[in-house]
Amino acid sequence: DNLGLKRASRILEENHYGLKKAKERIIEYLAVRKLNPELKGSILCFVGPPGTGKTSVAKSIALAMDRRFVRLSLGGVRDEAEIRGHRMTYVAAMPGRIIQSIRKAESKNPVFLLDEIDKMSVDFRGDPSAALLEVLDPEQNTAFSDHYLEVAFDLSDIMFITTANAIHNIPYALRDRMEIIEFPGYTEDEKVHIAKIFLVAKKIKEHGLTEEHLEFSDESLLSLIRRYTREPGVRNLEREIAKVCRKIARKVVESKKSSGKVEVTIESLPNYLGQPKFKHKSVEKNLTIGTVTGLAWTENGGELLTTETVTMPGKGELLLTGTLGEVMKESGKAALSYIRSRTDELSIDPEFYKKTDIHVHVPEGAIPKDGPSAGITMAISMISALTNTPVNPDIAMTGEITLRGRVLPVGGIKEKILAAHRSGIKTVLLPQENENDLEDIPKDVKKSMRFKLINSMDEVIRLALNGRG
């Protein structure tokens, strides 16, 4: 191995912008390896939304260590024999894909990337995630047994790296054997920087152009990010830059001579990419009664989740729509029970549940939603509708609610805050127990936003409903 820390640090900085924690962990691994060459292979798990650089960081690690790089995609793998191989007694038997990949690498200690480990599935042919336990457990992988070879094979010198979009889809026993390193979404400033340093130069070269043909201004890149992409990573940004490059390449070929440098500006972007796909500030500034801006986390990063409630004369039914999962429906029921227990303090008719139907809807109804983090959002939406009080439009919130009105911590805080920042939200209400998660928020985002840490629904009502409660 090449264990030079300066060289590794330089390669990682040259190829990737940001990702501070991931880079630090890799440099630490190399330092320990230098002091103790007998250290067995480490198993890292990169978790984050698509397009945040998980696979490319793994390639850079192999380059920095002068090791071979092999990649095995586990998406859709449902047969245990894919991992362990078939016994020789079967027709067309072959080794498992672990041994095949090592054979291809012609090395006993490659950097081995197991891509999309959260996309494996189980059927009658066995559980491939259970077969991976022996591969990824440092205590067991010194004598990995492939059914085809039937000879113990030492995998302990391999540096295994796995990637996933969502950690909760990885079986717990497997997750327990890996060190999780989170790859959060990028801020707008980071995306502009990545586009300037990496993406624009890469796409110009790929399309046969040179810097004499094309130049993007900083303002045009920011406008492209805000109005043509909405993602935590940079994949769609790369595609949009490629579209512009194709249009310029066509102009260059048709004119048969260089027609001077084209500078892409905010005004000229629609000529290349058409009309903008997104409005920059998507948060509603004139929220009606019963409408609240919540924050949600998905495999693609953070999202704004507007929740609407209307009340109507009826028999006290609670209707929850918007393709909500079981946990989210239970959050709505818990919110209603909390409101019923606090009717006096909230100045609500104690008999409302007998003669009023409540309909809670979360728009974008075709997209499945689940999880407990919309609990306080649903509660505020219902209280707003029942008391005829408008909600503060500059506030977004996330948190789980209990029957006693306590606010419990939730996950995905960084991704949720970045989504709120992208949409122009100024104040975010977070559970008090999520205070430590604020350390991971970029400084420029922290400066432009306010964070209110809350323990109970009384505080949420005071902040969101303009002092009511």
Would you please indicate which residues are annotated as catalytic (active-site) residues?
373, 416
Q: Which of 177, 174, 101, 111 lies closest to 139, judged by CA?
A: 177
**First CA to last CA across the chain, in angstroms?**
64
Backbone Cα Rg of the chain? 26
User: What is the C-alpha separation between 383 and 461, in angstroms, rounded?
Assistant: 9
Q: What are 105's two structure tokens? A: 């690498």
Please provide the DSSP assignment of 175-228 as one string: HTTSEEEE-PPPPHHHHHHHIIIIIHHHHHHHTT--TTTEEE-HHHHHHHHHHH
Contact between 369 and 328 under an 8 Å Cβ cutoff? The reply is yes
User: What is the C-alpha separation between 134 and 136, in angstroms, rounded?
Assistant: 6
- The dihedrals phi and psi of 360, each to the nearest 5 degrees, come to -105, 125
User: What is the C-alpha separation between 376 and 307, in angstroms, rounded?
Assistant: 11
Contact between 183 and 232 under an 8 Å Cβ cutoff? The reply is no
Residue whose token pair is 């046969």: 208
Q: What is the DSSP letter of 18?
A: S
Q: Which of 144, 157, 131 lies closest to 42, judged by CA?
A: 157
Distances from the Cα of 63 to the Cαs of 8, 34, 193, 439, in angstroms? 8, 17, 23, 31
User: What is the C-alpha separation between 435 and 305, in angstroms, rounded?
Assistant: 22
* Number of H-type helices and E-type strands within the chain: 19, 18
User: What is the C-alpha separation between 175 and 162, in angstroms, rounded?
Assistant: 10
User: What is the C-alpha separation between 225 and 244, in angstroms, rounded?
Assistant: 14
Q: What are 4's two structure tokens? A: 């030079």
Q: What is the DSSP letter of 198?
A: I
What DSSP element (H or E) covers 15?
helix 5-15
Kindly tell me the sign of the dihedral angle through the C-alpha atoms of 7, 11, 13, 18. negative
